[in-house]
A and B are shown apart, each in its own frame.
Chain A
């Protein structure tokens, strides 16, 4: 084979590899990812977030059922909307972070539900209680990054988040909306541009 033919073959192989062996998004960019939540106090939506969490993800849009995700949240880092609330929710009746410093989620099933839409199910463990939850999310590609946007409704009583007087659901609602935004770069090096 001469040089020119070899180049074409290589390009051909590269293109074939690109389509057949799709890209796996796994290099999570923590600084671009967020986990936020909205609680309701006396009917008032209050925004909060968990600034510190680690995500391990392996997602190939061509094979979503093979995807895996693992999230661990540092609960002490919580921003529940005000200093008063932050001081309160790390305590025993809420997250009891001394005993249970982190919350974790591990996926067991991931499936496609529509164009660019997926569903992930798995146990969510908070305060030593593992409860299966299902979150829906959308996935899109921006440059070399895969972006996951989704959420689910957590029922705080399932995990005893808010005990004693706080178990009263008329002041702080049971339902807490969790929203995540995770940015993960493609693990495989970006395909070389052909001129």
Chain B
């Protein structure tokens, strides 16, 4: 019997957004302590562009999720675990929306408009305001720390289900393998 899976679109968005969050978090943590240099300005811009992209993809993902139900969780999973899993997922969605918003508002309050890929200016909702800028920086930072903690729980739970419980939780989010097709490696091997 095949594993009930998320739709291909949902799986694609999950891994794409996950990878982008991972990279943006890394860049974000690294860039803040750099002394001012052209490289720092580039990192900030890339980070902002990634944030806008993630935000947009998350909106698409939310729409997709609202119109495409998630596959059921395996039967033996206790009720409390289901509740925690659900809460974690809601929290992740909330953070994926809130973090880019906080970043954009913070940037505006600090007097730096976000210009997507250096060409598409995103309007400033807030005028320049030093104190507000600092408050929003703290909000952006602590939302991210929360995000890191939740991502660790999310990954930890997925691995625990896969390797210890040996259930199909992680497999629901992996693309279906077609055993009859040759894999990429085999194709390279034959050419």
Q: Give the interface of A toward B (CB within 8 A).
A: 41-47, 81-82, 84-85, 87-88, 165-166, 168, 171-172
Chain A residues with CB under 8 Å of B117's CB are 43
B140 CB-CB contact with A under 8 Å: no
User: Closest Cβ of chain B: how far from A65's Cβ, in Å?
Assistant: 40
Rounded to whole angstroms, the CA-CA distance of A85 and B38 in the bound complex is 12
Chain B residues with CB under 8 Å of A43's CB are 45, 115, 117-119
Annotate B30-42 by CB proximity to A: 1 below 8 A, 0 otherwise. 0000001111011
Chain A residues with CB under 8 Å of B41's CB are 41-42, 171-172
Q: Give the interface of B toward A (CB within 8 A).
A: 36-39, 41-42, 44-45, 110-115, 117-119, 128
Rounded to whole angstroms, the CA-CA distance of A144 and B111 in the bound complex is 35
Chain B residues with CB under 8 Å of A165's CB are 37-39
Chain B residues with CB under 8 Å of A46's CB are 111-112
Chain A residues with CB under 8 Å of B44's CB are 42
Chain A residues with CB under 8 Å of B115's CB are 42-44
Chain A residues with CB under 8 Å of B112's CB are 41, 44, 46, 81-82
Best-buried of A45, A82, A85 by chain B (most CB within 10 Å): A82
Best-buried of A41, A42, A84, A172 by chain B (most CB within 10 Å): A42
| Among A45, A82, A166, contact of B110 (Cβ-Cβ < 8 Å) | A82
| Interface residue SS majority, chain A | mixed
Closest to A83 in B: B130
| CB <8 Å contact, B111 and A172 | no
| CB <8 Å contact, B45 and A85 | no
Closest to A44 in B: B115
Chain B residues with CB under 8 Å of A172's CB are 38, 41
Chain A residues with CB under 8 Å of B37's CB are 165
User: Closest Cβ of chain A: how far from B110's Cβ, in Å?
Assistant: 6
| Among A42, A47, A84, contact of B36 (Cβ-Cβ < 8 Å) | A84
Rounded to whole angstroms, the CA-CA distance of A37 and B182 in the bound complex is 61
| Among B38, B42, B111, contact of A81 (Cβ-Cβ < 8 Å) | B111
Closest to B116 in A: A43
Chain A residues with CB under 8 Å of B119's CB are 43
Shortest 9 CB-CB contacts between residues of A and residues of B: A43-B118, A171-B38, A42-B45, A88-B36, A43-B115, A44-B115, A171-B41, A84-B36, A168-B38
Rounded to whole angstroms, the CA-CA distance of A28 and B110 in the bound complex is 32
Closest to B113 in A: A44
Closest to B111 in A: A81
Rounded to whole angstroms, the CA-CA distance of A79 and B111 in the bound complex is 12
Closest to A162 in B: B38
Chain B residues with CB under 8 Å of A166's CB are 38
